[in-house]
Chain A
């Protein structure tokens, strides 16, 4: 147990050299690396905090925007719904109006057609009725009927009032023309004399009476006296009736 002073001195120097070398090769680099890492980690944490704060801010902004968009969407939806309802009501009203118009048009057309058809039918029935009456009367027109017509004509003549009688007599006298009597068939002498006497008796003169046959007259007799005409026949009666019916 002794100290070798050369070794002692050398070991002091060795130790100091080792301190220097390790300071240069070990402690310095390692401590610097750790400090750099700490700074890096700190920086990353700071960056992460900043990023987190930014992300939070963005999240809040996005939530606001999302809410705004939701509200806008709701507004648009409500407005669109209201517009759609309004449009629907308008279209329904328009359709109803058009339907009413068409219905009215159809109704009026139908009524007009119906009326037209009824009128046409009535006219046809009238025409056919009167045609049938004419044919019937023509078929029935025999001597007895001729006589009855003559008698009726005479009654008509006698039913003229005084003014008419005077007026016709005056005209007969002024014109000088004979009294013309037209009948459907040729009148026999009896009938002719009956009518002639009646004329003479009613107009108080002896005017000439001329007789003619006119097949167009249906079961009737017409008198033309100085421009005054006194007709009586079934055709005239039927025409009058037809005019009243139409």
Chain B
């Protein structure tokens, strides 16, 4: 990637000659890397879990992580975190790991791709009504768009779409800007400052992962709450 390429989508690794639209770019490659790390790491640690009071340190790490996510979900939704844990937890873990790996030279965070953030936001966009309907049925959920008056229907729809768009663009903008600023600073001040910016980037990446997951949970919680 050079200074011109601001999205990993543009870094094509492989492209089908038959269907040129089918291609493997850096976004997909690094996404699979992140997925592989998460899945293999989870499998490696959870293959010998114990329910004793004395547990291995890696299991302890995972339990702290999962317990933290569950507590956050419970704090936001006031519901049992069980049904939401896989979706919201995966959002957080994927974004966090994807962003944290930015410290590795040559790696480009897939979250710096608008395609990725849009895909994640779309997943949230779909998940909100799915959880709402799963909780209390279709009719009850759809009534939400007619509240407080049917006249508000267009605005509710616009709000739904706009917050999905905001979700996608917020993450993309933050991640992309961090990479761009780092690239620009390297051209001006090659020493020290880029390191500070890398640290700032790690912090920003974690904050963005947290914000994205919590906002997703807030949207889902509002859907289930309204359904009540």
Binding site for B on A (CB under 8 A): 1-12, 14-19, 21-23, 25-27, 29-34, 36-37, 40-41
Q: Which A residue's beta carbon lies closest to that of B49?
A: A33
Number of A-B pairs whose CB atoms are under 8 Å? 123
Q: Write the chain B residue with the least CB distance to A18.
A: B35
Chain B contacts with A in 89-116, Cβ cutoff 8 A: 89-90, 93-94, 110, 113-116
Q: Is the interface of A mostly helix, strand, loop or mixed?
A: helix
Known: A19-B87, A27-B85, A30-B46. 11 other contacts (CB 8 A): A11-B120, A14-B31, A14-B32, A18-B38, A19-B86, A22-B89, A29-B49, A33-B51, A34-B67, A37-B53, A40-B51
Residue-by-residue, is B151-167 near A (CB-CB < 8 Å gives 1, otherwise 0)?
A: 00000000000000000
Interfacial chain A residues near B39, Cβ < 8 Å: 18, 21-22, 25
Residues of A contacting B35 in the complex (Cβ-Cβ under 8 angstroms) = 14, 17-18, 21
| Those of B3-47 within 8 Å (CB) of chain A | 6-7, 9, 21-23, 25, 27-28, 31-32, 35, 38-39, 42-43, 46
Q: Give every chain B residue within 8 A of A27 (Cβ-Cβ).
A: 66, 85-86, 89
Q: Would you call B179 an interface residue if the criterion is a C-beta within 8 Å of the partner chain's C-beta atoms?
A: no
Instruction: Point out which of A1, A11, A17, A37 has the most chain B C-beta atoms below 10 A from its C-beta.
Output: A11
Q: How far is the CA of A166 from the CA of B59 in the complex (A)?
A: 164
Q: How many residues of B contact A (CB 8 A)?
A: 47
User: Which residue of the partner chain A has the closest CB to B31?
Assistant: A14
Within the complex, the shortest CB–CB distance from B57 to chain A, in Å, comes to 14
* A6 in contact with B21 (CB, 8 Å): yes
The dominant DSSP class at the B interface is: helix
Q: Which residues of chain A are near B28, meaning CB under 8 Å?
A: 7, 10-11, 14
Q: With contacts A17-B35, A22-B39 known, is A11 near B90, CB below 8 A?
A: no
Q: A23–B50 Cα gap in the complex (Å)?
A: 18
Quick one: given A18-B35, A22-B38, are A4 and B115 in contact (CB under 8 Å)? yes
Query: Contact at B90–A7, with CB atoms within 8 Å?
Result: no
Interface centre among A6, A23, A26 (most CB of B within 10 A): A26
CA distance A18 to B88 in the complex (A): 12
A30, B118: Cβ atoms closer than 8 Å: no
Q: Is the CB of B89 within 8 A of A15?
A: no
Q: Could you say which residues of chain A place their CB within 8 Å of the CB of B49?
A: 29-30, 32-33
Residues from chain B with Cβ under 8 Å of A3 in the complex? 114-115, 118
Partner of B123, one of A15, A21, A26, A37: A15
CB–CB B32/A12 < 8 A: no
Q: Across the two chains, which residue of chain B brings its CB closest to A10? A: B28
Residues of chain B within 8 A of A32, CB atoms compared: 49
Q: A37 contacts B43, CB within 8 Å?
A: no
Q: CB distance A12 to B123 under 8 Å?
A: yes
Do B90 and A22 touch (CB < 8 A)? yes
For the complex, what is the distance from the CA of A15 to the CA of B120, rounded to whole Å?
7
Given A10-B28, A22-B93, A30–B53 Cβ distance below 8 Å?
Answer: no
Distance of A8 Cα from B51 Cα, bound (Å): 40
Contacting pair B93 A7 (CB below 8 A): no
Query: Does any Cβ of A come within 8 Å of B62's Cβ?
Result: yes
